[in-house]
């Protein structure tokens, strides 16, 4: 494991008021924090829901919470109390960026909605993340990732052709929406440098899902074709799926004619690449039921690791199906340094995947305890502001 020094980062000086919880919002604000932004996490007195999402835990703390809340400071505010509402509004007034994922309109009664905040802070970049948008028809729908996986169509594509629909093994659309929110915030901050004026950034899980479904939604809107479950097969490529070897499955992705020819040569079946039924990708896709048993017959003569070595040496993209710990080990063996240690206690965390040569991501603060920085943040908010929205929180960055 590696530990990075605390660089300023490309977003140094940016103050983010984080009114988010669970996954999409906290993931977005963590990415901003990794890149140097000062993020103040505003929590209810009972804390972010993910603090209680366990097992698994590390030192009694949910690993779910730990995975998406590093580099932040925590203050617990009860927005039903006038004093805490005042503190929250002052934080929003000073912030360069506000990020929230309440139900649409949910912060209006506290004077923390975009319209109200932008009156006192016209330069604010205010990002809202919802499940189904802020319009009348979607605002009241609950924005849970699993529901969006179901309603977007993803689950209709996931699972065996004759089996039940399945969700993805991770809250994929929460993560994609968090990424989209981060891109939106950074774009709006850049635009503000040109105009001096902020704006409202809106991201919803359903729109992120339809964008993230990529070729599958394109098939619908551009081709009038409704995709369906194909197990591990691909609708437009073959072979591009799991194929059985003598001791288990190997993923093989021969995505073009050259790769397919190398595959057939490595398997000892060079004539298949010239067979008119298999010469082009569209031919292979159309005749996949004829081609698959020919490939499987040869693959069944050796184990998956042996074929992995043979095919990789031949230039054929392929790989075994790993467990998550094996995936982390693979990244480590490739020199990708997937794990960083955060804070004095050295809490292991997954490295920010963005590599910047001049202003790298930093890992300054461990995920905070509930209201860990509340007293110093309250004192700062109560003090007279003297240097704009980027006044540092007392205590600075360790």
Q: Which contacts of 229-236 are long-range, i.e. CB under 8 A and separated by 24 or more positions?
A: 229/156, 229/157, 229/158, 229/159, 229/160, 229/161, 229/163, 229/165, 230/157, 230/161, 231/159, 231/160, 231/161, 233/288, 236/281, 236/285
For the entire predicted model, the pTM comes to: 0.91
> What would the DSSP string read from start to end of 193-235?
HHHS--EEEEEEHHHHHHHHTTHHHHHHHHH-------TT--S
Closest CA to 358 of 10, 30, 71: 10
Specify the pairing of strand 61-62 against strand 72-76. unpaired
Please name every residue paired with 15 in a beta bridge, in sequence order, or none if there are none. 38
Element (H, E) at 341: strand 339-342
Write down the domain spans for the chain.
15-214+337-390, 240-329
Task: Give the pair of three-digit tokens for residue 4.
Answer: 């990075």
Q: Which CATH architecture has domain 240-329?
A: 2-Layer Sandwich (3.30)
Residue 170, class by beta-carbon neighbours within 10 Å (0-12 exposed, 13-18 middle, 19+ buried)? Answer: exposed
Write the CB contacts of 374 (distance below 8 Å, at least 6 apart in sequence). 74, 75, 76
SS3 87: helix
* Residues noted as catalytic: 174
Q: How far apart are CA 349 and CA 65, in angstroms?
A: 11
For every one of its 398 residues, what pLDDT tens digit does the chain have, with 9 covering 90 and above? 344 444 489 999 999 999 999 999 999 999 999 999 999 999 999 999 999 999 999 999 999 999 999 999 999 999 999 999 999 999 999 999 999 999 999 999 999 999 999 999 999 999 999 999 999 999 999 999 999 999 999 999 999 999 999 999 999 999 999 999 999 999 999 999 999 999 999 999 999 999 999 999 999 999 999 999 999 999 999 999 999 999 999 999 998 999 999 999 999 999 999 999 999 999 999 999 999 999 999 999 999 999 999 999 999 999 999 999 999 999 999 999 999 999 999 999 999 999 999 999 999 999 999 999 999 999 999 997 654 444 445 444 43
CATH superfamily of 15-214+337-390: Crotonobetainyl-coa:carnitine coa-transferase; domain 1 (3.40.50.10540)
Longest dimension (CA), the chain: 80
Q: How far apart are CA 395 and CA 398, in angstroms?
A: 8
């Amino acid at each position: 494991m590696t530990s990075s020094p605390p660089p300023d980062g490309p977003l140094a000086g940016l103050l983010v008021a984080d009114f988010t919880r669970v996954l999409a919002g906290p993931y977005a604000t963590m990415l901003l924090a990794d890149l140097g932004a000062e993020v103040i996490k505003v929590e209810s007195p009972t804390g972010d829901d993910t603090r209680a999402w366990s097992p698994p835990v590390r030192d009694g703390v949910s690993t779910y919470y730990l995975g998406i809340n590093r580099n932040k400071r925590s203050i617990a505010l009860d927005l039903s109390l006038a004093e805490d509402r005042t503190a929250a509004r002052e934080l929003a007034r000073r912030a360069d960026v506000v990020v929230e994922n309440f139900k649409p309109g949910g912060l209006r009664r506290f004077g923390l909605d975009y319209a109200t905040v932008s009156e006192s802070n016209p330069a604010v970049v205010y990002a809202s993340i919802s499940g189904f948008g802020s319009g009348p028809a979607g605002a009241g729908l609950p924005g849970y990732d699993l529901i969006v996986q179901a309603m977007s169509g993803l689950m209709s594509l996931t699972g065996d052709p004759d089996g039940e629909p399945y969700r993805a093994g991770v809250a994929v659309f929460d993560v994609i929406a968090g990424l989209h929110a981060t891109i939106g915030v950074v774009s709006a901050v850049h635009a503000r440098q040109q105009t001096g004026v902020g704006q409202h950034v809106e991201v919803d899980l359903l729109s992120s899902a339809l964008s993230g479904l990529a070729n599958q939604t394109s098939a619908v809107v551009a081709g009038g074709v409704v995709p369906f479950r194909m197990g591990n097969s691909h609708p437009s490529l073959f072979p591009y799926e799991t194929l059985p070897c003598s001791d288990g499955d190997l993923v093989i992705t021969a995505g073009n004619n050259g790769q397919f020819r190398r595959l057939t040569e490595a398997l000892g079946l060079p004539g298949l690449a010239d067979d008119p039924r298999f010469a082009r990708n569209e031919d292979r896709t159309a005749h996949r039921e004829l081609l698959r048993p020919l490939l499987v017959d040869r693959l069944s003569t050796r184990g998956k690791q042996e074929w992995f070595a043979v095919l990789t040496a031949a230039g054929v993209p392929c790989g075994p199906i790993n467990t998550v710990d094996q995936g982390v080990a693979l990244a480590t063996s490739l020199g990708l340094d997937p794990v960083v240690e955060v804070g004095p206690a050295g809490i292991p965390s997954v490295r920010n995947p963005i590599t910047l040569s001049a202003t790298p991501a930093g890992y300054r603060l461990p995920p905070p305890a509930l209201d860990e920085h509340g007293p110093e943040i309250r004192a700062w908010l109560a003090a007279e502001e003297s240097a704009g929205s980027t006044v540092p929180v007392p205590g600075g960055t360790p």
